[in-house]
A = this chain, B = another copy of it.
Amino acid sequence: MTQKRTAADKHAGLAAAEQACLRSGARLTPLRKRVLELVLVCGKPVGAYSLLRQLRTDGYGDAPPTVYRALEFLQAQGLVHRIAKSNTFVACSRPQDEHYGLIFVCRQCGGAVELEEQRVLKDIGRCADQLGFRLPKQVFEIEGTCRDCRADA
C-alpha cells in the first residue's frame, strides 16, 4: 500500500514545486525544498516530528517550528496535504494547481491514495450550497483498510 516513490517521482515533484513557486512568486527555500523532498521520499503520510528528526542530521534547526513552518508553507502552496486523523503530512499528487480531492488513508499501514472524483466532489459541493456552506479547496479524508493490508490479515 505504501505508494512506491521512485527517484523520478521525487524529482518530478520537486520540479513541479519549483514551477509552482516561480509562478506564484513564493520562495522555495532550501529548508522548504528539503522538507518537501523528505515528504516525497517517504511516499506516505509522515509525522512532523519524524521529519524534524531527519532535518537534524543535515544541520537545520531542530525545534518544532522549523518543520511546522515549512509544512505550513508547503500546504499553502498546495504541495502538501495534512491528514488530520493521523496528524501526518503527505505530498500532493497533483501539485500543479489548487484542487479538491479525496484521499483514502489506510488505518493499518498508513498509506494513502489521492483521487479526484469529479462526481463525488460536485455532489459534495451541491450539499454545501444547499446548507449555505462555502467550501475552500480541500482534500477529504476517508479512512479504511487498503487491499494489501486486507490480504495480510
Where the two chains meet, the residues of A that have a C-beta atom closer than 8 Å to any C-beta of B are: 84-85, 102, 104, 106, 113, 115, 117, 119-120, 123-124, 127-128, 131-136, 138, 140-147, 150
The majority secondary structure among interface residues of chain A is mixed
Distance in Å: Cβ of A132 to nearest Cβ of chain B: 3
Tell whether, in the assembled complex, residue B135 and residue A143 are in contact, meaning their CB atoms are under 8 Å apart.
yes
In the complex, the answer to whether A131 meets B143 with C-beta atoms within 8 Å is no
Q: Are B147 and A132 in contact (CB under 8 A)?
A: yes
Contact yes or no, B131 A120, CB < 8 A: no
Q: A115 — which chain B residues lie within 8 A by C-beta? A: 127, 131
Asked, given contacts A141-B140, A142-B140, whether A131 binds B117 with beta carbons under 8 Å apart, the answer is: no
